[in-house]
Structure 1
Amino acid sequence: MSQLVTLKIDGMTCASCVARVEKSLLKVDGVDVASVNLATEKAQIRTQQSSDELVPHLIAAIEKAGFEASPVNHQNVQQKQKSIFDLHGPYAVALAIGLSFPLMLPMLLMPLGIHWVLPAWLQFLLTTPVQFILGSRFYVAGFKGLRMGSGNMDLLVAIGTSAAYGLSIYQWYLSDFGHTHHELYFESSSVVISLVMLGKWLEARAKKETTEAISALQALWPNQAKLLATRDLKNLDYKELPIAQILPGDWIVVLPGERIPVDGLVLDGASELDESMLTGETHLVDKQVGSKVTGGSMNGSGRLIIQATDVGEESTLAKMIRMVEDAQAKKAPIQRLVDQVSSWFVPAVIAIALINFGTQYLVFHEFENALLYSVAILVIACPCALGLATPAAIMAGTGVAAKHGILIKDAQALELAHQLNVIAFDKTGTLTVGKPKVMSFHNLTNVPDEDLYALALGLQLGSEHPLAKAVIDFAKEKNIRPIDFTGITAKVGQGIEGQCLSGSYQNKTIALISHHALKNALAGNEFEKADLLAINELNQGRSVSCLIDQTNQSVLAVIAFGDELKPGVAEVMARLRAMDIKTVMISGDNHLVADLIAKKIGIDHVYAQVMPGEKADLIKSLKLQTKNGLIAMVGDGVNDAPALAASDVGIAVSTGTDIAIHAAGITLMRGDPGLIPDAIEISKKTWQKIKQNLFWAFFYNLIGIPLAAMGYLTPMLAGAAMAASSVSVITNALLLKKWTRPTH
């Protein structure tokens, strides 16, 4: 069975670093797939081996490539404390700028008519610590990249600034140590390093904002929980324990104003919870005995006693964080193309710089200009923005989606959602509330109603089907005791049958079947009598089941079920129609019921009486019909999972089953169908940001390299432009955070 290992990587600066780490990881025995993300600074490795055995080898491979790595703990992500001696931190940036400013000052004073130059020895003293101490990170990372047979941003900076520094030393020597007849370029190397350091620091700060959604989710976890010492609701003697020590089954006290520490069931008390950070729902949700609560929710005015059900990595909050992190760590398909381009980018830039140097020197005999122009090319062409363009937008898009209750499991789902042509909806639990009720019970025998209620209840006990729950609730309201059955067998899409052990129908085979299965079960007058009643109920938009005595081939009762449509479903269909998306409803219900509901809410096409096992085949068939179009499937049940997996984009409703959620690329954290067009809108905005970012990333290089080659960009301006390109790409992606749900 394959496993997914996630590692945190420190020290990557550009897309070339990503390619180097991936190449190194793929050389490790047992690694099937390796995907590295520059924006999240994480690697995801798929392997068939035990992760515990493989992790040390993976970390060693990353360190050999020139970077630091550590395993990711999803529940407790600790930020590293920045030391004052950290060469990547703000103190180092401030020191570099402080040492470089006197070197820049003569240039700033020149437009004012003040011609003042620092002595060569002072320029040397100011520049050297910037070049070789504060800038040592570029030499170290560049050398490691070169050792692995690839170039990166650090190598370009190291070569470019070293050339400027070396030229200055040479010119100083020619000037006989003090008589500055030759121009020095110490300020170019010093300022370029300072600007690149400033740009990377600003970039790191901006990247933190793109992970705000994860940080906000992690902040929902309380550090401790109040564990009841004894399971006595009258004696609330509790002790506070770290949340990591809470186990399933423990009884927890939650006081007013505290966060729920774990997923659980309310045993005592009543309150209202704020679940907005988990579901995007703004109003408070009432909770009482028997209600499910989710860890991370904020308790309102009441005290609650809850029994822990899911804790730690199995809790809803942990799964949400893992899903968002995985989506941000995985690559969108377009990013793989960008990575391929980037892998050739650095060698190509070095070649262009060398050709330019050779041309300028051999043709125009200008050694200094040739060197400076080539340095500017090396600096402006750093592929940082190219590597960040796609992942920064993906991170911002998945973050804003999570804030509104939409969890996107992988980047591919986010990239494809805006291209959808058709969306297929399961009916029960997706378009309807999913809690059908018995609306009418037609007794077709002389036997008392209570006896038939007991038969239906006995057949349905233990079933998780929505109609079975409706029968159970109906019988409970009437205080009916079930009749025992043996040999109960469920026939998918048709009904359930078993042998009755007592009462009026002892030793008879009794079945509760759907209306469309009735014709195959019975014939003649018995069928016609039940069919007339059933059609009347179906015309009112109700689902129908029939209780039959298979031994005597007779209909005992016709039961009609009603299920409410979710609020705003018709408006959702109108929004999708405005997006030029066709809608399809897939239902196991009768054609009459399905058509009536579809007409009411504006569904374009209906497939009724579809067996659960046929849904996936129907999705595949729809994909063939739409040719180049993309299809999404929206569902919530176990039987929807194959169809969700078969679609181009699976959308699961989190109020449904775990298997449906695992099969889907997008999960709606609340049962609001309005989140579907919201997810498409976020996908569209994210895709726009990706295109804009890639345009600007290429624009900087396509314009900057020729300008640098012709001498219109000094190395300092090139450094500023390179830093600005990375920051602008991330800032553009961060504009996605301003997206708000449209009001209708």
Structure 2
Amino acid sequence: MSAPLTEVSDRRQGRSPAKPPSILVTGASLPEVRWAALSLALFLAGWVSQLLGAPPAIWWALLLACYVAGGWEPALAGLRALREKTLDVDLLMIVAAIAAASIGQVFDGALLIVIFATSGSLEAIVTQRTADSVSSLLNLAPERAALLAGDGSTSVVDTSALVPGNRILVRPGERVGADGRVIEGTSEVDQQAITGESIPVVRSMGDDVLSGTVNGTGALTVEVTRPASESVVARIVAMVAEASETKAKTQLFIEKVEQRYSIGVVVATLLVFTIPLMFGEGFEAALLRAITFMIVASPCAVVLSTMPPLLAALATAGRNGVLVKTATVMEGLGRTSLVAFDKTGTLTEGDPEVAHITPAHGYDASDVLRMAGAVERYSEHPLGRAIVRAATERSLELPPVDAFRATPGMGVSGELDGSTVTVERSTQQRDRVGTSVDLHIDRQFIGTILLVDTVRPAASRAVAAVTEVTGASPILLTGDNAVTAEHVAAATGVTDVRSELLPDGKARIVQELETAGERVMVVGDGVNDAPALASATTGVAMGGHGADLALDSADVVIVRDELDTIPKLIRISRRAHRYVVANLIIAATFITVLIAWDLVGTLPLPLAVAGHEGSTVIVALNGLRLLSQRKWDA
């Protein structure tokens, strides 16, 4: 029903777009939702009026109005499809609904209209939100940059106008305006939004920096190496949009067969009408038989065979802190054959914490933490905040410090009781698993503090459960260094590690796995994970601290960041699939028996409606059994 999210023809043909990809918003979400809501309201009003014994003219008028509100758009879409020489279930449902009304069964037809109108509006909402979230990613890259001239003067220009060879000045606290290389200055750059690294990295002459990353306290002169249209941010936009468009073509089982089913029902209805006429049956009798056939052959029960189990599974997952965005996603979750985890903020907490303190002779750990915390109290650096937090948790009193100074890429210092206290990155980093900082007083070494990104308590348990349910050990995809990645993998039980990956690298690995036949679920939380989330069969975002783009690009959001829900989600999807298969068998049996009765004998219209609606009720109630909490915990 929905329009494509982006125009990606240039990229598919191997050409780079002239500008960052634009998002084509359909503009249909709000109107579709309004029409669906109006259709549902009119249906409920007509139903209540009928139950209360209102004159038939009133509830007939309300139900016919429901037809118009919810049916005009699928009818129009169906007619457009006919012009393209295709036939879909939407048009068939409209014809069946009108046929039902023509023989007095207006309520049955209105119910059919409401089901399809609601389904279409939900699809439109999801499509619109995805388009909006991809558009918002462009806000990562600043619109302006300070262009350096040969004489050292600066002028503010649009970042879209920057070309390789230009030099820009990035002041403290600003976002880097383009992918480039540092030619002057030293600073710490926060790259978490792009690479997933939890701790800012030092960047100095010769180091690469990425568009959209945040500069720390130093000034950097950067030589542009890529135009805006080829920056990492622009590539993320293109990958997310293209992957989203591709995934939008995934359909539920019933939708995959709708063309054949629709054609079959139409052809069969015409035959049921014309053949008796050819053998001398009266026109009205033949028409009544054909209309009855259309009603009993209409796929109401088939549609409800699929939706109630999936919607019940969605509701049960929601009660347990997991938002599954569509029924299509819930159906596909059970086919997951391999899970790929991001590291920072997914298997780990995403924030550095003090892991170990090594004091010099004559000092203890509390002395080191107290003095380091006193100086770092004035710092906004993540390492400094972690040190202060650790000191506060241990109820250490932090003395006041004078003359606080922060040196870009090095550390901080201040005056404490007449002495200069310095906290700086260790020059002899012994353990790349974390980051070490050294404490000095008047250049005398006092101790070392090791800070690490801690592994989530449930991570190893979740990895083991995922391995059991999928039959394959998960893989780890991270932008962090190999040593840190291997440490986290060892702590969680992951055996396949892919490290030092940019966003396109993660997406490429996922696409290769998908091409090889795997149904990949990617679990992540950052902007850097968005292309992989969108490229995978299923993208799962950690909702506690997840970036907006990751949350909107993902198919599933784990609201409470509980990794234990992942294997449960796969299991309940598989249960829902079994319920769908059972419902389809029930629905097919009813339809077959009723059709045979109508063709061989004379199926009374009330019995046809009762059988049709009875099968609908049975499959709906069967699917709703998945609302039980036991189905989630089992």
Q: What is the TM-score of this pair, normalised by structure 1?
A: 0.50
Q: Aligned residue for 2:468? A: 578
The residue correspondences of 1:429-508 to structure 2 (distance < 5 A) are 429-432=345-348, 437-443=353-359, 458=375, 462-463=379-380, 465=382, 467-476=383-392, 477-481=396-400, 484-488=404-408, 496-498=409-411
Given the superposition, is the C-alpha separation of residues 575 and 420 from structure 1 closer, same or farther in structure 2, using an over 3 Å criterion?
same
Which of 391, 394, 397 aligns to 2:313? It is 397
**Aligned partner of residue 485 in structure 1, secondary structure:** strand
Match for residue 620 of structure 1? Answer: 508
Query: Quick check: 2:42–2:65 contact (8 Å CA) kept in 1?
Result: no
Over residues 326-355 of structure 1, what are the superposed CA-to-partner deviations in whole Å (9 max), with x where a residue is unaligned?
xxxx988324x7457557766754543332
Residues 459 and 412 of structure 1, relative CA distance in 2, 3 Å threshold: farther
> Where does residue 250 of structure 2 map in the other structure?
333
Which residue of 582, 592, 604 maps to 2:495? 604
1:452-487: CA deviation from partner (whole Å, max 9, x where unpaired) = 97568756855464x543222235535155662345
Cα 1:393–1:81 shift into 2, 3 Å: same
Shift of residue 89, structure 1, vs aligned partner: 1.0
CA distance in 1, matches of 2:266, 2:488: 65
Pick from 632, 637, 652 the counterpart of residue 541 of structure 2.
652
Aligned equivalents of 2:603 and 2:479: distance in 1?
68
Matches within 5 A, 1:115-130: none
- Aligned-pair distance for 1:402? 0.7
CA distance in 2, matches of 1:32, 1:646: 15
Aligned to 2:232: none
- The whole-number CA distance in structure 2 between the counterparts of 1:203 and 1:147 is 13
Name the counterpart of 1:523.
none
> 2:298 matched to 1:382?
yes
Q: Verify the 8 A CA contact 1:438 1:560 in the aligned structure 2.
A: yes
CA distance 1:472–1:130, shift in 2 (3 Å):
closer
Change (3 A) 1:694 1:679: same
Query: Residue in 2 aligned with 1:714?
Result: 604
Structure 1: 5+ residue runs without aligned partners?
1-21, 34-45, 73-77, 100-127, 163-188, 212-329, 489-495, 519-526
Structure 2 CA distance for aligned equivalents of residues 599 and 615 of structure 1: 23
Shift of the alpha carbon at 1:398? 1.8
Amino acid of the structure 1 residue aligned with 2:405: F
Question: Which one of 595, 606, 613 corresponds to residue 723 of structure 1?
Answer: 613
Measured after TM superposition, the shift of residue 720 of structure 1 is 1.7
Change (3 A) 1:48 1:616: closer
Structure having the higher Rg: 1
1:676 aligns with 2:566: yes
CA distance in 1, matches of 2:459, 2:586: 40
Paired with 2:59 and 2:266, the residues of 1 have a C-alpha distance of 20
C-alpha displacement of 1:678:
1.7
Counterpart residue number, 2:450: 560
Work out the CA distance in 1 between the residues paired with 2:496 and 2:303. Answer: 43
Contact 1:141–1:155 (CA<8 Å) still a contact in 2? no
Following superposition, the deviation at residue 360 of structure 1 comes to: 2.2
> What does 1:129-528 align with in structure 2 at a 5 Å threshold?
148=76, 151-153=91-93, 155-156=95-96, 159=99, 193=105, 196=108, 200=111, 333-335=250-252, 338-339=254-255, 342=258, 349-363=265-279, 370-432=286-348, 437-443=353-359, 458=375, 462-463=379-380, 465=382, 467-476=383-392, 477-481=396-400, 484-488=404-408, 496-498=409-411, 511-512=424-425, 527=428
The aligned runs of 1:15-164 (5 Å cut-off) are 59=31, 69=35, 86=45, 88-92=46-50, 148=76, 151-153=91-93, 155-156=95-96, 159=99
**Distance in 2 of aligned mates of 1:452 and 1:134:** 73
CA offset digits 1:122-156 (Å, max 9, x no partner):
xxxxxx98998898679979997998575554644
Quick one: which amino acid aligns to residue 336 of structure 2? L
Q: Is the 8 A contact 1:196 1:720 kept in 2?
A: no
User: Any idea what SS the aligned residue of 2:517 has?
Assistant: coil
Over 3 Å counting, the alpha-carbon distance change for 1:334 and 1:693 in structure 2 is farther
Query: Once the 2 structures are TM-superposed, how far is the Cα of residue 545 of structure 1 from its aligned partner?
Result: 1.6
Say if 1:689 and 1:502 are closer, same or farther in 2 by CA, change over 3 A: same
Shift of 1:406: 0.7
RMSD over aligned Cα atoms: 5.4
- 1:185-225 Cα distance to aligned partner (Å, 9 max, x none): xxxx56xx38837x949998xx99xx9xxxxxxxxxxxxxx
2:523 corresponds to? 634
CA shift at 1:31, angstroms?
11
Over 3 Å counting, the alpha-carbon distance change for 1:682 and 1:715 in structure 2 is same
TM-score (norm 2): 0.57
C-alpha deviation, 1:677, in angstroms:
1.1
Instruction: Tell me how far apart the structure 2 counterparts of residues 146 and 70 of structure 1 sit (CA, whole Å).
Output: 11
Q: 1:159 to 1:691 in 2, by over 3 A?
A: same
**Worse-superposed segment, 413-422 or 580-589:** 580-589
The separation in 1 between residues aligned to 2:504 and 2:624, in whole angstroms, is: 38
Q: Residues 35-90 of structure 1, C-alpha deviation per residue, up to 9 Å, x if partnerless?
A: xxxxxxxxxxx995796xx89xx85xx7xxxx982789xxxxx995999xx4x314
Output the amino acid matched with 1:354. Answer: L
* Conservation of the 8 A alpha-carbon contact between 2:542 and 2:559: yes
Further displaced range: 575-584 or 722-731: 722-731
1:484 is paired with a residue whose SS is strand
Separation (CA, whole Å) in 2 of partners of 1:352 and 1:567: 60
Question: For 1:668-698, what per-residue CA distance to the aligned partner results, in whole angstroms no more than 9, with x for missing partners?
Answer: 2223221111222232233334444455555
Q: Which whole-Å deviations, capped at 9, do the CAs of 1:225-279 have from their partners, x for residues lacking one?
A: xxxxxxxxxxxxxxxxxxxxxxxxxxxxxxxxxxxxxxxxxxxxxxxxxxxxxxx
1:738 aligns with 2:624: no
Aligned-pair CA distance for 1:94? 7.2
Kindly indicate whether the alpha-carbon contact (under 8 Å) linking 1:90 and 1:201 is maintained by their aligned counterparts in 2. Answer: no
Q: How many residue pairs align between the two structures?
A: 469
Partner SS for 1:671: coil
Distance in 2 (alpha carbons) for counterparts of 1:351 and 1:408: 38
Alignment deviations for residues 512-561 of structure 1 (CA, whole Å, 9 cap, x no partner) = 26xxxx6xxxxxxxx4xx63xx5xxx8xxx74524399xx9x98853234
CA deviation after TM superposition for structure 1 residue 566, in Å: 4.1
In structure 2, C-alpha distance between the alignment counterparts of 1:382 and 1:742, rounded to whole Å: 33
Per-residue displacement from partner, 1:169-198 (whole Å, max 9, x unpaired)? xxxxxxxxxxxxxxxxxxxx56xx38837x
Please state whether the residue corresponding to 2:346 is helix, strand or coil. coil
Report the Cα distance in structure 2 between the residues aligned to 1:50 and 1:144, rounded to whole angstroms. Answer: 18
Structure 2 counterpart of 1:661, from 551, 570, 580: 551
d(CA) in 2 for partners of 1:637, 1:133: 52
Q: Structure 1, residues 395-449: CA drift from partner, whole Å, max 9, x if none?
A: 3222111111111234454333222222233445433555654243335699999
Q: Distance in 2 between matches of 1:145 and 1:594?
A: 51
User: Identical aligned pairs, as a percentage?
Assistant: 21
Counterparts in 2 of 1:377 and 1:656: CA distance versus 1, 3 Å: same
CA–CA separation in structure 2 for the residues paired with 1:146 and 1:673: 40
CA deviations 1:291-324 (Å, max 9, x no partner) are xxxxxxxxxxxxxxxxxxxxxxxxxxxxxxxxxx
Structure 1 residues 203 and 48: CA distance shift in structure 2, 3 A: closer
Give the secondary-structure state (helix, strand or coil) at the position aligned to 2:474.
strand
